[in-house]
Copies of this chain bind each other. A is one copy, B any other.
Amino acid sequence: MAERPWTIVRGGLVLRGAECRAEFLDVLIQGDTVAALGPPGMAAPADAAVVDASDRLLHAGLINAHTHGYGSYTKGVGDRWTLELLLTAGAWLNADRSLADKALSATLNAAEMLLKGCTACYDLYAEAPVPTSEGMRAVAQAYRAAGMRATLAPMAGNQSFYETIPGLLQALPPDLRAAVGRLQPQDHRRILSEVDAFLRTEGDGDRIKVALAPTIPLVCSDDYLLACRDVAADLGIGIHTHIAESKVQALAYQERYGRSVVAQLDALGMLNPGFVLAHAIWLDDADLRIVGERGASIAHNPGCNMRLGSGIADFRAMLDHGVNVGIGTDGSTSSDNQNMYEAQRLASLASKVLGPDYANWISTREALHAATEGSARCLGFGGMLGRIDPGYKADIVFLDLGHINWVPRNDVVNQLVHVEDGASLRDVMVGGEFVVRERRLVRVDLAALRGEVERAQERLRASTAERRELAEKLSKAVGAFCLCLAERPYHINRWAAYR
């Protein structure tokens, strides 16, 4: 095997290491990995390709700890949807997708993330009615082709949302009750057998990792969760699921388990360093202590949590309990963009309205750490991604220091977290190779993609019209019922103006 080629990136201001110090440094890359950092003008092999990074800020690619690739088709569709209304709409929004749609939606999601400085993500990808190895392979191929890293988890539940929120099914008018009765969930053995080939063969430990995503414990039976636990242990892969994203769910768990969802998962032996809890808003200190003790991670999605009115998760309490926290955007159906600069900013800002004691607020450095190294650990890429440092993959974003966002340059980390909106981004490198150059995707033809997506949308608008109508009818009943439920007392509060 030939020696891996060298690249030397010269003249940039580099946000390096765990401390995120900004220093003028040259970056020597061998193959896909940072080999060395050195003073400007440092020696490099004679055959090294030279990249001029003068007047550029180099930061480690941001890492999206929680997204849903299929959601890229439906950005901006909803407003004033609670989580429960989103789940109601889900049966319409993600229906009737062809294999081509699966690849296209994943490509679109990857394209947006890359253009906004994000180089790796955890994508919980749902297929209706059931995940397939074929579909997930198409998704993996889409990320590979775009040049982005991803941890990919086929997402599915095996129970009906309408049956697992106590009292909801009974509260529906008879015609709607009959209609949702026909939305049959799948046997969990079928779910796992459908994706078995994908799980066993698609991960390469470098560009693509695989994982399992039982959607929400609420819509998963205990035997399904246990089967996931065993498959994950067997294959050495992670598990990612949505935990206590809404007060309605927190209440439903108390009724179903007689304890919190975290206590239940812990009793099932699910929690370990490969386990990621998405959202984790309505957890209390006892829950977070367990999560921390088991070495599990939380994927914090402040933008989506605000958009769905789920509440503001207590990021500081997570850190206090030793939990590794990554940051995500969530899928575009509920975020509605894939802008990780915004996501890390919202993680900082949201923490600052929890209360007056500013020592508890999340600092910009903590937010940036979560959006890079914290997320990397969520994805199972800890120690490989999330820093510009020797031994780490060369996943590097190049920002233009002449852009208005950096004029003047006062504090690099504060500005990266509180000012940058993605507009100063010029180039993005993944594994030493440019995948965005001068604000354009290198490996994706965006204009062609747009045409394909628009044609697909036109077809789907027609073919899902009936499901949409049902979802709209259901949403009135679901919204009213869940609002009543949400107003029941609970021992913690995550809303800003609520007693």
Contact = CB atoms under 8 A, between A and B. Distances in A.
Interface of A: 73-82, 85, 108, 111-112, 115-116, 247, 303, 305-312, 314, 332, 335-337, 339, 342, 346, 348-350, 352-359, 361, 363-364, 402, 404-405, 407-411, 414-415, 418-419, 421-423, 446-447, 449-450, 453-454, 457, 479, 483, 486-487, 493-498
A42 B116 CA distance: 39
Given A305-B353, A355-B497, A495-B496, A410 B76 contact: yes
A300 B456 CA distance: 40
A57 to B, nearest CB: 12
B358 A75 contact: no
Given A307-B352, A421-B422, A358 B479 contact: yes
28 contacts: A75-B408, A76-B410, A76-B411, A80-B358, A82-B356, A115-B404, A115-B423, A309-B353, A309-B356, A309-B358, A336-B414, A336-B419, A337-B405, A342-B342, A346-B349, A350-B496, A353-B494, A353-B496, A355-B495, A355-B498, A358-B483, A407-B450, A408-B450, A408-B453, A408-B454, A422-B423, A495-B496, A496-B496
Contacts of A85: 358
Given A356-B486, A408-B450, 19 more contacts: A76-B415, A79-B348, A79-B363, A79-B364, A79-B411, A82-B358, A108-B407, A247-B356, A303-B349, A305-B353, A309-B356, A310-B353, A336-B414, A339-B421, A354-B496, A358-B479, A407-B454, A494-B497, A495-B496
A81 B361 CA distance: 10
Contacts of A423: 115-116, 421-423
A414 B414 CA distance: 29
Residue from the set A112, A352, A411 with the largest chain B CB neighbour count within 10 Å: A352
Contacts of A332: 419
A80 B353 CA distance: 11
A484 to B, nearest CB: 10
A419 B76 contact: yes
A405 to B, nearest CB: 7
Residue from the set A75, A77, A354 with the largest chain B CB neighbour count within 10 Å: A75
Nearest to A485: B356
Contacts of A483: 356-358
B402 A312 contact: no
B418 A307 contact: yes
Contacts of A486: 356
B77 A404 contact: no
Contact of A414 (B76, B350, B410, B479): B76
